[in-house]
Structure 1
């Protein structure tokens, strides 16, 4: 918490132990108001529980309860090994009815997309990849594993697999896999997606800078060419606190 924000709290008389409102709720209200007013910025780190308790003259149990409630509401995030932060200002709504790349989605929202390479390789398809892409045993695939970012904030872990005949060189992919496929005349035209809620393991949480076992959305997508051939099989883990998937539904004519 910034020195100015703490000063505001002290100047306001601090937390009122005589109030019928519990101290942890008072602290929550103060932090929420500081976020709303801009006194606390997205991604700003809070002091440790011990430091907050000392500075505000309250118990660590009270501080912990206040912060835990704000984490549950998505106002704060706790990052493994780093501490407690104001939740990122980035939150994305992604329509499920449109096939587009992560790069295009972020650019359309005025955000700067980027990626951190985790792995790039060519090798034989696994049994799951054979089934997903309609390949034969021994066929090669290009694998590109990346951490996808928006305005510097980790948003998703993406494991993309493409038949090597469509993309023989994994280094040919720059910011966008779809752009690389389009350049080679293999533009995806339609896709099937499956998604479900999951919890992040320790490594996934470290990459996405959230606590272990944080909620996430796991999505599998298979994309197809006009010919019907599968051109992409991608598995992704999206941060639950920064990404919303939206579907528009219509009702059929009544009978």
Structure 2
């Protein structure tokens, strides 16, 4: 691990917290990749001029967050970074890209299908009308983070696998002339089925975040309906709350 950390002993912020924050930032920015060994606490403490209990506390804070793991005979290793996503009308691909998370896409299926009742109601089209159904697995640093299924009005879009593997869906929609304006979104949680767990590299029954979204263009027309599942161990939504006047 060849990183430099800045510890300010005159700051009111506890030393362990300064170190844990900088380690967490290095993990999120991809400077410390999954599998990276941090070395033992004695070496790290000596290199930083900190006490061993301070270093231990910093590491434990990240172990508690699921970013580091202690393994007997191996030492402390980076597990993965936690993706924090603001609740706004943006694509997961672009959010990951902006955060330096190295997004990639595995396209599982692209097909023209009749709209199920739920999809038809969301898109404001007749049940059975043609839609393009897109099913993808989103990865970051080579690990799966989300399973995404999207339905698009067939008369508006015709994306192929190469398009979808190269970039995010909203970027493709904008390139096709869509001015995205707003969305209605609901968030929930449930346990992973065996098939979902296998796709997302989680044990069966693991907690997953679910999200359903209908996106609208600047004319108010529904242009996309998505049903997504995210690994709760890797992913959080962030909200800013304001007091109503």
TM-score under structure 2 length normalisation: 0.68
Q: CA separation of 1:136/1:154 partners in 2, compared to 1, >3 Å: closer, same or farther? A: same
Look up the match of 1:94: 85
Look up the match of 1:24: none
Would you say the 8 A contact 2:116–2:128 is kept in 1? no
Would you say the 8 A contact 1:222–1:231 is kept in 2? yes
Structural RMSD (CA): 2.7
Would you say the 8 A contact 1:88–1:153 is kept in 2? no
Look up the match of 1:241: 233
User: Cα deviation per residue 1:19-67 (whole Å; 9 max; x = unaligned)?
Assistant: xxxxxxxxxxxxxxxx99x9xx86449xxxxxxxxxxxxxxxxxxxxxx
Counterpart mapping for 1:222-237 below 5 A: 222-237=214-229
Q: CA separation of 1:193/1:162 partners in 2, compared to 1, >3 Å: closer, same or farther? A: same
Q: Distance in 1 between matches of 2:149 and 2:201?
A: 18
TM-superposed CA distance for 1:157, in Å, is: 0.3
Counterpart mapping for 1:107-118 below 5 A: 107-118=97-108
Q: CA separation of 1:237/1:87 partners in 2, compared to 1, >3 Å: closer, same or farther? A: farther
Q: Distance in 2 between matches of 1:137 and 1:170?
A: 24
Secondary structure of 2:174's aligned partner: helix
Counterpart mapping for 1:22-33 below 5 A: none
User: Cα deviation per residue 1:83-130 (whole Å; 9 max; x = unaligned)?
Assistant: xx966322111111x211111101110121101111110121111111
Q: CA separation of 1:162/1:87 partners in 2, compared to 1, >3 Å: closer, same or farther? A: farther
User: Cα deviation per residue 1:192-216 (whole Å; 9 max; x = unaligned)?
Assistant: 1101111111111111111111111
Would you say the 8 A contact 2:67–2:80 is kept in 1? no
Q: CA separation of 1:195/1:86 partners in 2, compared to 1, >3 Å: closer, same or farther? A: farther
**Unpaired stretches in structure 1, ≥5 consecutive residues:** 1-34, 46-69, 78-84
Q: CA separation of 1:210/1:72 partners in 2, compared to 1, >3 Å: closer, same or farther? A: farther
Look up the match of 2:168: 176
TM-score under structure 1 length normalisation: 0.65
Larger radius of gyration: 1
TM-superposed CA distance for 1:170, in Å, is: 3.9
Secondary structure of 1:165's aligned partner: coil
Aligned length: 184
2:178 to 171, 182, 186: 186
Matched, 1:129 2:114: no
User: Cα deviation per residue 1:63-82 (whole Å; 9 max; x = unaligned)?
Assistant: xxxxxxx99963679xxxxx
**Unpaired stretches in structure 2, ≥5 consecutive residues:** 1-22, 37-61, 70-75
